[in-house]
Amino acid sequence: MRTRRLLEGLSFTYWVVRRLFELLVLFGRSERAKELEILVLRHELQVLRHELQVLRRQVGRPRLRSADRVLLAALGQVLPRSRRSFLVQPATLLRWHRDLVRRRWTYAGRRPGRPPLAAQMQVLRLAAENPSWGYKRIQGELVALGLPLSASSVWNILHRHGINPASRRASVGWREFLRQQAAVILECDFFTVETLWLRRFYVLFFIELSRRRVYLAGITANPDGAWVVQQARNLAMTLAEQKRRHRILIRDRDSKFTAAFDAVFRSEGLRLIKAPIAAPRAKAHAERWVGSARRECLDRILIVSRRQLETVLREYVAYYNTHRPHRSLDQQPPLPQIGPLTPPDHEWRVRRRDRLGGLFHEYELAA
């Protein structure tokens, strides 16, 4: 764009210098020579008038360059109206002159009226995330955030974008309803891992349906009832320390989940729901996590011992919870890290951190 403007400026400068030299040559001629030249030009125009009319009907409006517009606009202010014989209308000629005057001023202009509100995006965000809020409720939330916006301004913003400012804008949809229900649901399940020496280990894990957060309960080769109950107690204490309140636990009908296992969670106020027999979709979130763990980690490494398996899975669970994006969470991990939401003004510098010897990578902006 800059190169194009530079070339146009040089072309216009050359055109002006050339016309100045022609004007100097014209001043050197006698008055008689000028009058003879004018008579010859008028005769040529008289002869070609018919042909010009036909040509105008075929070609249409002539395409004028910027230099032509400058010359016509300048001469239009000098010649009287009776002597003007240009190819454009007088209104067009005056508009060209106004454009030239406007380009002379370099200050930044702005649109008429009030400037746009900086809190407009926040108003639309609060309205989209809280369908039951009216414009006064949104205005109160903005004031609490330090954005002093009047209620009438909030009403105008919502009305301008086709959103009903009243509090009864929309009812709760199935997506929001199911997401609210998932906030209090846990799923648990076992899956097996075969080592290099064909020894089988059982992995017990829990997953939250709201944020897809995974809790690795334990790994053992003999998952008896006492071991499973102890892992349930450990998880209950972990959830109590994190102040995570759940109401429902979904499990399958595996015999390893004994009555004592259910009693641990009932004592914490959870309701136990048993999945139907041979119905993996009843625990779809847990089954999906098992598939992700196998495809992204376990199928790409040889497991030798229980200690190695525990190290690998805990590293993967940490990566899954803190870094791996999820489509259901708007490409955010279950535990998003606090960091800059916008890239820096300078050149991007991305830093890579390898996990499990480069089995998978994490990327973050360097400070």
Domain boundaries, the chain: 2-99, 120-160, 179-329
Distance, in Å, from the CA atom of 84 to the CA atom of 62, rounded to the nearest integer, reads 17
Q: What are phi and psi of 219, to 5 degrees?
A: -135, 130
pTM of the model: 0.56
Distance, in Å, from the CA atom of 259 to the CA atom of 187, rounded to the nearest integer, reads 17
**If we measure between CA atoms, which residue out of 203, 241, 245 comes closest to residue 221?**
203
**What is the reported pLDDT for 271?**
92
> Token pair of 119, please?
């809190």
Distance, in Å, from the CA atom of 286 to the CA atom of 187, rounded to the nearest integer, reads 6
Hey, what amino acid is at 287?
E
**What b/e string do you get for 274-302 counting C-beta neighbours within 10 Å, with b at 16 or more?**
ebeeeeeebbebbeebbeebeeebbeeee
Domain 179-329 in CATH: superfamily? Ribonuclease H-like superfamily/Ribonuclease H (3.30.420.10)
Distance, in Å, from the CA atom of 123 to the CA atom of 202, rounded to the nearest integer, reads 50
Q: Name every residue whose Cβ is closer than 8 Å to that of residue 230 and which is 6 or more positions away in sequence.
A: none
Distance, in Å, from the CA atom of 362 to the CA atom of 351, rounded to the nearest integer, reads 8
Using DSSP bridges, classify how beta strands 360-365 and 350-355 pair: parallel, antiparallel or unpaired: antiparallel
H-state helical runs in 276-326: 284-296, 306-322
**What is the reported pLDDT for 48?**
66
Distance, in Å, from the CA atom of 105 to the CA atom of 218, rounded to the nearest integer, reads 74
**What is the reported pLDDT for 119?**
72
Furthest C-alpha separation in the chain: 123
Concatenated DSSP letters for 152-208? HHHHHHHHHTT---SS-S-PPPHHHHHHHHHTTEEEEEEEEEE-TTS-EEEEEEEEE
**What is the reported pLDDT for 73?**
61
pLDDT in tens, the chain (367 residues): 567 667 777 777 877 777 777 777 777 667 767 676 776 677 666 666 656 565 555 555 556 666 666 666 666 655 555 555 555 566 776 776 677 667 666 555 555 555 556 678 888 888 877 777 888 888 878 877 777 788 888 888 888 888 877 765 455 565 565 566 767 899 999 999 999 999 999 999 999 988 899 999 999 999 999 999 999 999 999 998 888 888 899 999 999 999 999 999 999 999 999 999 888 888 899 999 999 999 999 999 999 999 999 999 999 999 999 988 888 787 888 887 655 455 555 566 778 888 888 888 888 777 6
Distance, in Å, from the CA atom of 7 to the CA atom of 18, rounded to the nearest integer, reads 17
